[in-house]
Amino acid sequence: MKLLKYGKIIVVGLLVTICQQTVAFIDPTLEPHLRPLDITPVQVSLLFLLCTLFVAIFSPITGAYSGRKENKFHILGVGQLIFCLAFLFLGPSFIMHLSPNVLWSALGTGITGLGYAFAFIPTFESMLKLAM
């Protein structure tokens, strides 16, 4: 309870919650979104794998980069902005005037994995440093 007095701890905790909710939102909604595109279940599975693959590739890179930075909030902010960009492609958004297709969905899921790596990985060390 002592840690909850610090505003930065609360901000990092909220960012962790947003990251997890973003990924939890994609899991049940991606397949129904892709259903009208007439792609096979294997292709849908590969799109889910694409997000995980980007997380696996970019997490060590993000961890190494954030380990050298004292203030990690700019990295966390970039991760949240990347999430926003990913959802523009996943929709696709009316702002971009694109029609839904597999390419935009693949790009959106890949960018989601990249955003997750940037927005979630630095939170571990941030929480540890803020707690000390």
* Kind and range of the H or E run holding 36: none
Annotated domain spans of the chain: 2-131
pLDDT tens column, 41-97:
999 999 989 999 999 999 999 999 998 988 888 898 899 999 889 988 887 778 878
Radius of gyration of the chain (CA): 16
| b/e burial code for range 4-33 (CB count within 10 A of at least 16 → b) | eeeeebeebeebbebbeebbeebeeebeeb
Higher pLDDT, 109 or 91: 109
The reported pLDDT for the residue numbered 50 is 93
d(CA 126, CA 73): 8
Nearest 5 degrees, angle CA 131-CA 123-CA 11? 75
Predicted pLDDT at 124: 82
Q: Work out the mean pLDDT of the chain and round it to a whole number.
A: 87
